[in-house]
Structure 1
C-alpha cells in the first residue's frame, strides 16, 4: 500500500474494532442561489448528520475495543468548488472528525479522514448531475434565468462530463487507505486518494484565496450578466 508501517494485529476485545463511514450523495448540486433550504438539508442529512448519528451510536463499542473510526470526507472538504450541500457536508465531516480524534486519543481510539478526489462512481455520474442541474434551472424565476443565461447550463454539462472522464477508475486507492487506517499500527490522520486530490486540490487549498478563486474560476461558467 505504500505507507510502510506494520499491521497492528489488534487483540480481540469486547466491542467494535473498526467503523467506516462512507455514505454520500451529491445531488442537488448547483449555484447556491438556485437552491432552497430543503435542497441543502437533503444532502447534509446523509453526508454529515447521518455520519454523526451512526458514529455516536457505535462510539461506546469502539471506545471499549480501543479501535478505529474512519470517516470518508472528500478533497472538496478542503476546497469548495461548487454550490449545494456536498462541499459544506464534507467540511463538516472534517471538523467533526478532528474534534473526535482529539477527544478519543486518551482512550486509545484512532480517527482517520480519507479525502478522495474524483473517482468514476455513481456519485459523479454526469447524467443525473446534469439532469438535476437542468431541473433546477427550469424552476428559477425569469429574472434569475436572464441573469445566468441558458449557456450556463450547457457549460456546466460540458465541465461535468470532462471531469468525469479525467477521474480515476482505480478505487483501490481509496480502499487501500481504508485498510491502512483500520489495520496498521500507525494510521494517518488524513489520507489523500487520487491523482487530482494530491496534485491539484490539496496544493490549491494552501494557495491564497485570490489565486485559488482565479484558477477555479476557469472551470466555472460566466453568467450572462456577470463580469467577463
Structure 2
C-alpha cells in the first residue's frame, strides 16, 4: 500500500498530503521482468496518483498542500533505470498538477533527494550471484558473470556513500507543507549531485552519456 503522511488541522480542515511511496531495485533493462516493471509503476507512480485523486476534493476545498517524493535520479540512471523511470514520470504528473491547482489556491511541491540510501534503506545491497541466477538464458548468453559482478560492486559502492542524515529531507517536506511561499522543487542533495543534475540539464545528451557510460562499467562483454 502507498505510504502517505497526512496532516490534519482541526481549525482549517484537511491541509496537506505527502506522497512518499517508493521502492527501488537494481538491474539493466533486460534483467528485469515485466512483472517488476508493473509493480514499480503501481507503487512509485500510480500509488501516488491514487492517493492524490482520493484527497483532491478536500485539498481544493481547504486550499491545501500536496507534496511528492521524487529524486535526482529522475534526471539520469545509474543501474536503476526502473526507479529513474517512475520518478521522471511523477515529476511530469506534478508539473501538470501544480499548474492546474493554482486556480484553487493549492500548492504542489516536489522533493528531490540525492543519495540517502543509508538513512532510508530503500535499496538493500546487491548480490551479483542472485542477479545472475535470476537472469533468463537469453540474458546469460549476452552478459557474463564478471560484468554482473562489476555492475553490482559499482552500485553497492553508491549505496554505501549515501547520506545518513535523512532529517534533511524531512525538513524540506515540512517547509513544503508549512511555508507561506513553498518552492515548486526542493533539491536536497550534495554539491556534486547538484552539479551532475546541472550537467544533465545544460549539456548535450551525448556528453552525459559519455561520462555515465565510462563510470558505469569498464568490463567488456566477452
Q: Normalization by structure 2: what TM-score?
A: 0.86
Moved over 6 A (4+): none
CA distance in 2, matches of 1:109, 1:134: 48
Pick 1 or 2: higher relative contact order, CA cutoff 8 A, min separation 6: 1
Cα deviation per residue 1:127-162 (whole Å; 9 max; x = unaligned)?
A: xxx13x643422334453242211122112221222
2:47 alignment partner, one of 47, 50, 53: 50
Is the alpha carbon distance of 1:223 and 1:148 closer, same or farther for their aligned partners in structure 2, counting shifts above 3 Å? farther
Aligned to 1:22: 20
How many residues were matched structurally? Answer: 211
Cα deviation per residue 1:33-76 (whole Å; 9 max; x = unaligned)?
A: 11221110111111001110011101111111101000001111
Is the alpha carbon distance of 1:11 and 1:105 closer, same or farther for their aligned partners in structure 2, counting shifts above 3 Å? farther
Matches within 5 A, 1:70-219: 70-119=67-116, 120=118, 121-126=120-125, 130-131=126-127, 134-195=129-190, 196-219=192-215
* DSSP-derived class of the 1:17 partner: strand
Q: Normalization by structure 1: what TM-score?
A: 0.84
Aligned to 1:225: 221
- For structure 1, which segment, 202-211 or 55-64, has the greater mean C-alpha deviation from structure 2 after superposition? 202-211
The answer to whether the Cα contact below 8 Å between 1:70 and 1:113 also exists between their aligned partners in 2 is: yes
> What is the Cα deviation at residue 201 of structure 1?
3.0
Q: CA RMSD in A?
A: 2.1
The answer to whether the Cα contact below 8 Å between 2:60 and 2:104 also exists between their aligned partners in 1 is: yes
* DSSP-derived class of the 1:218 partner: helix
Aligned to 2:5: none
Q: Structure 1: any 5+ residue segments left out of the alignment? A: 1-9
The answer to whether the Cα contact below 8 Å between 1:147 and 1:224 also exists between their aligned partners in 2 is: no
CA distance in 2, matches of 1:165, 1:78: 21
CA distance in 1, matches of 2:123, 2:195: 20
Name whichever structure is richer in strand by fraction. Answer: 2
The answer to whether the Cα contact below 8 Å between 1:69 and 1:112 also exists between their aligned partners in 2 is: yes
